[in-house]
Amino acid sequence: MDKINEEEILKPLRAEIDHLDRELIALLAKRFDVVHRVGEIKKKYNLSPIQPKRMEQVLERVASLAEEHHIDPDFVKNLYHMMIDHAHALEFEITGQDHE
């Protein structure tokens, strides 16, 4: 039996993953561009960077989307918690408000 070359056999799939990673990062950049614009509006109207109701809506929505795509909703919610935390940090920086 011939020994398989792990690098060669996985190369096309790894290239596909690399391509998808580039797309994901580009989408994250677009998402955080919108977060920046949200932060500017919150600064203008002296709104709190943290909007708990909106945060829960986002987490529920992405968990539902995850289920539709057969992805673990808890994994997706954890991922979004990190993104939301980062968005809050950016918005606190933009608004100049103290993070309590």
Q: What is the pLDDT confidence band of residue 98, given thresholds at 50, 70 and 90? A: confident
Q: Where are the domains of the chain?
A: 6-95
pLDDT over threshold 80, residue 47: yes
Q: Give the Å distances, CA to CA, from 7 to 1, 18, 84.
A: 18, 15, 37
Q: Could you report the per-residue pLDDT of 17-33, keeping only the tens digit for each?
A: 999 999 999 999 999 99
Q: Which amino acid is at 51?
A: Q
Task: Quote the percentage of the chain above a pLDDT of 90.
Answer: 90
pTM (2 d.p.)? 0.88
Predicted confidence (pLDDT) at residue 73 exceeds the cutoff of 70: yes
The domain defined by 6-95 carries CATH number 1.20.59.10: yes
Give the pair of three-digit tokens for residue 49. 């960077």
Query: How confident is the model at residue 3, as a pLDDT?
Result: 79
pLDDT recorded at residue 2: 66
Tokens of 91: 């918005």
